Chains A and B, each alone.
Chain A
């Protein structure tokens, strides 16, 4: 079915929406490449990925903040799991030398501190919604 003729949305060109090129930001939904477009006389910014996830500047900020928090929690849980594995290794491994045990205990101490630091980073964040 034929589409209705349309005026250009671009403030700069006759194309419907001027592609301003790729930006060094991945799509929060699919990790695809984002490109920035501007629409209308007020140069409204849109970010569109290769499969057409779309974001305004604000909704991109919101999605990226959520992504950062998800990744930080993910790092936190990896550290928790690493702590468990080191503690299990110390408990169950009989052949460890005293030097190896000291290294593992030092790493357990580091992991605990890193885990607390990540949690503090998450809790101290003031994301703009």
Chain B
């Protein structure tokens, strides 16, 4: 998948219709998702709702221990898309969910999908920020960042980078999240473009990946 070389879209936010995401019709086909406490249940529900023909490459960081586990298998049990823990230098492909392996950061950079045992962020590895930053730096406006349930502030800086790269940032509605703090911190610092209940996020991802506009969801 080629990286984004388009012109600067610094006026992106201002040009949006009020309450509408992606009125420009850009295909947001690089989706990066962060989750922590409550993430297994949230991701299982989200993956089950994603259509099998979702035209997006999806990267996921769920805070997890360093021990090997069957997490990819668990999350993939009800998913129409394959959920894999990649090795280094996988090509980024639509229709695949790339899950950060234990004790490795997952990066979407110019080399494709890369895993690195790089410096911990917020004392954790895998961390959400490195995935969000790398995707923003490589794919710019094509990136959709999704902040789901969890504690702490991992993902906040990454969503700021996605916004700076003219991508879109959305969050799970904290009122229904198992742990509201990650979505709340995203709303506090990131000017997220939309806030949605979990049951709607799969359809929002699908619509944005195909370049459609989406009603903005609950505003903060």
B-contacting residues of A (Cβ < 8 Å)? 1-9, 16, 28-30, 39-42, 44, 46, 49, 51-56, 58-59, 62-63, 66
Contacts and interface: CB of A to CB of B under 8 A. Distances in A.
A51 B111 CA distance: 22
Interface stretch (B17-25, B37-45, B132-140, B200-208): B132-140
Interface centre among B118, B164, B190 (most CB of A within 10 A): B164
Contacts of B190: 40
B166 to A, nearest CB: 7
Interface of B: 2-8, 10, 109-111, 118-123, 129, 136-141, 152-154, 156-157, 160-161, 163-166, 188-191
B140 A39 contact: no
Interface centre among A8, A44, A52 (most CB of B within 10 A): A44
15 contacts: A1-B3, A3-B138, A4-B3, A4-B140, A4-B141, A5-B8, A6-B136, A6-B137, A7-B164, A30-B119, A39-B160, A41-B191, A44-B157, A54-B157, A58-B152
B120 A39 contact: no
B5 A4 contact: yes
Contacts of B139: 4
Interface centre among B119, B138, B140, B190 (most CB of A within 10 A): B119
Closest 4 pairs between A and B when the two form their complex, measured CB to CB: A4-B140, A1-B110, A59-B122, A56-B153
A62 B8 contact: no
Given A4-B4, A7-B166, A44-B189, A55 B122 contact: yes
A58 B124 CA distance: 13
A54 B129 contact: yes
Contacts, number: 103
Q: Is the interface of A mostly helix, strand, loop or mixed?
A: loop
A9 B189 CA distance: 11
B137 A9 contact: no
Contacts of A63: 123
A51 B119 contact: yes
A99 to B, nearest CB: 50
A44 B121 CA distance: 15
A16 B157 contact: no
B152 to A, nearest CB: 6
Contact of B10 (A7, A16, A56, A59): A7
A51 B5 CA distance: 29
A53 B139 CA distance: 24
Contact of A40 (B2, B3, B154, B160): B160
B131 to A, nearest CB: 13
A4 B122 contact: no
Given A52-B118, A59-B123, A4 B153 contact: no
A126 B8 CA distance: 48
A126 B139 CA distance: 43
